[in-house]
Amino acid sequence: MNDLTAKYDGFTCLGFPTNQFGKQTNEKDWEMLKTLKYVRPGDGYEPNFPIFTKTEANGEGASPMFKFLRDAIKFPCDAFKGSSDYIIKAVNINWNPVTRTDLCWNFEKFLVNQDGVPVKRYSPGFPTEDVAKDIEALLEGGPNALAESKEAAFAR
């Protein structure tokens, strides 16, 4: 995400950590940036975009933002080709109710256009750098540049 944020004027990434997937984000909010820098991913990594406090993405306690995103785009646009590590196992589901539009794992990504309308949803295994072509389409063609993609996502 750092590379995309640095590459495109007019594009901003927002990071929303959650501890809902395998309880892998169990640090306190105030520890998040140091964890990123020294532990995971480590090697001095510092995000060049805002990281918010932990939030819930799924279940009854899901934040209004994630409810909005999941309602707007029900499923990722890509044919998931990632590791089976990204497919949540029933024993790791710690929210209720479970719905078909739930995020399946960390690093699921949503692309929102200039008007605040979600236009694409990508699975966790979708390479982050491959979002670039959709960002470019929005920046060059305006907020409706990916409208057809959104229509296709609703049809699924």
Give the pLDDT score at 22: 80
Could you report the per-residue pLDDT of 83-99, keeping only the tens digit for each?
Answer: 555 566 666 778 888 88
57-71, pLDDT tens digit by residue?
999 999 999 999 999
- How far apart, in whole angstroms, are the C-alpha atoms of residue 72 and residue 121? 10
pLDDT band at 156 (very low <50, low <70, confident <90, very high): very low
Amino acid at 87: I
Helix, strand and coil content of the chain, in percent to the nearest 5, comes to: 35, 5, 60
Q: 88 by DSSP, 3-state: which?
A: coil
pLDDT at residue number 140: 96
**Residues above pLDDT 70, as percent of the chain:** 87
Task: Check residues 8 and 79 and name the one with the higher pLDDT.
Answer: 8
Write the CATH number for 35.
3.40.30.10
| pLDDT at residue 81, rounded to an integer | 62
- Average pLDDT of the residues of the chain: 88
Total of domains in the chain: 1
Q: Which domain range does residue 102 map to?
A: 2-155
Which of 88 and 33 is assigned the larger pLDDT? Answer: 33
